[in-house]
Amino acid sequence: MGHVITKRRIVEAWLAAIDYLEHHDGRYRNLVLEIDSADIVTPQDLKVIAEVDKALGNLGRTSVLTVAGTIFPQALYKRVGAGKLAEHFLQIMSTAKKRGTWGTYAMRLMRRPGREPNSVINPLEMLIGKLSRAASPAGKAVMSNYELGVMDAGDVEDDLALCDVPLYSPEHDAAMVRNQPCLMHLSFKLVGKGEVELTAIYRSHYYAERALGNLIGLRQLMNYVAEQAGVRAGRLACISTDANLDLFSWGKANQSTAALQAIRAAATAPDPAVPASAAVRAASAAPPLVVRRPAPTHTDA
């Protein structure tokens, strides 16, 4: 059976998942996180992210926001804008992608083989177009349809396959035993005509090394889609069909234990320089995350 964790914030949900996995032998099938207000990031949340980065640094692992960038290149988007995002990102990745690897999720979101021979499509751009049309006054606001995540390029190009982005690529991934993509499918749901929700499905999910960055990247992606489609970003859901508490990603047993203690302490530590009600927007975050102290009630980072 699955287990559902419902929280307001990303870091809050991630910490609850860490606790749950710790009490279930470090592994659980079908762990579901539902996050209602994923944009809200408290000063304590920023401290947690910093502590996770410190733990990941024990073994030279990728930082939280770098992981987020594999799903959506937020910093590049803020620099070049939506119109030039795909062009600039794919140009960068044409030389940055390691030989023999499948690349990043963001690459698959922006470039996939099309229906016609030797053609390519931009699934993310097409998805935004579908949402925009559905959310318009004359559009038909289809909330969802039935999906298996086995769509091909022809399905993605069809407006009837509304708001689904398959990330699994049979031609590239079916024969792989190691280093397969873990994020399998993204399903966007248009609620009424004013709000979009996102559900992400992971075949395998590493909560110490990747999950926190994944959740931030997913929220940044959903905010981008909502902004470009002219709707609000709503609830974020993440289904980990095989959730793993990989504390070894933070170092040896004594290092990972100390890291977990520091992370939990950061989550509850008071910040005398910032009111407890302070919040920042994860959607606008780009490395490094910085709390601007002068803000009396909230902070954007």
pTM: predicted TM-score of the whole model, two decimal places? 0.79
Do 191 and 197 meet the contact criterion of CB atoms below 8 Å apart? yes
pLDDT of residue 139: 67
Name the residue type at position 242: D
Residue closest to 259 by CA, chosen among 246, 249, 250: 250
Give 219-269 pLDDT, tens digit per residue: 999 999 999 999 999 999 999 999 999 999 999 999 999 999 999 999 998
Token duo for residue 114 = 């099309």
Residue closest to 64 by CA, chosen among 262, 212, 236: 212
Q: In which residue are the tokens 């039935």 written?
A: 146
Give 119-169 pLDDT, tens digit per residue: 788 888 888 888 888 888 776 656 553 222 323 344 344 443 345 555 544
Q: Taking the chain, what is the end-to-end CA distance rounded to the nearest angstrom? A: 38
Sheet holding 27-28, edge to edge: 27-28, 243-244, 205-206
SS3 96: helix
Residue closest to 224 by CA, chosen among 41, 69, 77: 77
**What is the rounded distance in angstroms from the CA atom of residue 227 to the CA atom of residue 90?**
21
C-alpha radius of gyration, the chain, whole number: 19
**Phi/psi of residue 31, nearest 5 degrees:** -90, 125
The two beta strands, 232-240 and 195-202, are parallel
Buried b (16+ CB within 10 A) or exposed e, 102-116: bbbbbbbbbbbeeee
